[in-house]
Chains A and B, each alone.
Chain A
Amino acid sequence: MTLPQTVTAGSAFSVPTSGSGPAVLYIVGPDQALRRDVQLGNPVSIAAGDLYNAGEYLAIIVAGSSSSSGELEVTPAPHPDTLSFLATPSRVPVGLHNGINGAVYVFDAYHNLIVTPMPVSFELSGSSGPSQARTITTSHGVAWTEIDSASKQGSAKFIAQAGGIATTRVIDEVPGDPCGLTISAQPDGAKLRVQTALVRDCSGNPIPDGTIVTFTENYNGAQTTADVPIKKDIAQIDMPAYSGATISVASGVVAGNEIRWGGGR
């Protein structure tokens, strides 16, 4: 039996044999086990797609009580078919240096990791601003990169491409913490309507609706508070109208301004 030194995963090959009579060929490795009935003296054909898992194999010809064996190495197919693209985070604050990272494992059509070096291009393109692109060569089948998030909020496409195969991940670039949080108040019947100005982050992106803004009113030793979600870029609440009350605002760990209600405005 004369074995080829290496075989590409999924490709056809033949194993020449010597001698005569019937025998059995086993090709056994951790990931696959094959058996072929052979006529010694004739080559054994292994069809395309029969042996497809990369790895070390032991090929054995058994004829009666005797056997002979040899090593066979199956290497991944050279062309990528699948990219396992680990892109994180799925939501990232805007303007974050190296805030987005991606790692790509390159596999062939048989899910063998292609370990020969190969270029992988990464591109992050958002709804605004220029796209960012770079090409990284794989090492042991993996390539990775880190990219800054854009300064404007929106949904960005993070694309990894290798050998004509592209995989896309969606990254939500979201506003950061509120910046310059301010409130104003005006009478509303017996109550006081307190509302924020448009709530934005430090890059001018509107803070998403549903974000909690905490209003606190202090008057004569008593306190009134409310956690109010932002709706249409502002948060507002009716609070007791006490002349001389101080009202402050905060969102998360960000504090805003404080006003004193004087009865008129």
Chain B
Amino acid sequence: MSLRILAAGCVLLFATGALADQPSVQVQPPDLQGSRPLEKQTAAAVVRDYLESWQKFRAALDQNQAALLDPDFVGTARTKLASAIGEQAKLGIHTHYQDESHKLQIVFYSPDGLSIQMIDNVEYDQQVLDRDRVLATQHVKTRYVVVMTPAEVRWKVRVFEATPE
């Protein structure tokens, strides 16, 4: 199964790499804790939904519109991101994030099937703007710990936290 997920990841890498402005994505075989077996479809859905959540994250922080987070973020992750968007709007700034690469690995699937934890070694550019004026640009290389939980039709990001590598 691991090989299949890796193969799926390679396909995803190829597919996403072929599109301009899209990050490169590498999905590593799961290094699972938990007794519950991870179905191939579940792993693919989680990765797909997580990558989609980055698009909404980028748009929401760039446009200072917290509502854009709703389809993809829930719980603590949504609360914190929405709070940051409110603070940005109050300060008159916005932030442009451009993710360049993701190296993903699923590390935990809870026995009840109600949470999946993933590590994302991500590289992105962060650009802070005061209206149209660029205040600073930084290339960031970090590791995100992500917890996703199932909602009605998709997996949503519940914990989205950059941690020391």
Q: Looking at the complex, which one of A103, A111, A139 makes contact with B115 (CB distance below 8 Å)? A: A103
- Asked if A32 and B111 make an inter-chain contact with CB atoms under 8 angstroms apart, the answer reads no
Q: Which residues of A contact B76 (CB under 8 A)?
A: 107, 111
Given contacts A34-B87, A58-B136, contact A26 B112 (CB under 8 A): no
Given contacts A33-B84, A75-B163, contact A26 B93 (CB under 8 A): yes
Q: Which residues of B contact A53 (CB under 8 A)?
A: 80, 84
A11-43: which have CB < 8 Å to B? Answer: 26, 28-35
Q: Which residues of A contact B138 (CB under 8 A)?
A: 58, 69, 71
State the Cβ distance, A88 to closest chain B Cβ, in Å. Answer: 4
Q: Looking at the complex, which one of B57, B79, B88 makes contact with A33 (CB distance below 8 Å)? A: B88
Complex Cα spacing A113 to B140, Å: 21
Complex Cα spacing A23 to B87, Å: 19
Instruction: Taking A111-B79, A142-B33 as given, write out 18 further A-B residue pairs in contact, using a Cβ cutoff of 8 Å, ordered by the A residue number.
Output: A6-B164, A26-B91, A26-B93, A28-B126, A28-B128, A33-B87, A33-B88, A55-B162, A60-B128, A67-B136, A71-B138, A71-B140, A105-B115, A111-B76, A111-B80, A113-B147, A115-B145, A141-B117
Residues of B within 8 A of A (CB): 33-35, 57, 61, 76, 79-81, 83-84, 87-88, 91, 93, 95, 97, 107-108, 110-112, 114-115, 117, 119, 126, 128, 130, 135-136, 138, 140, 142, 145, 147, 159-164
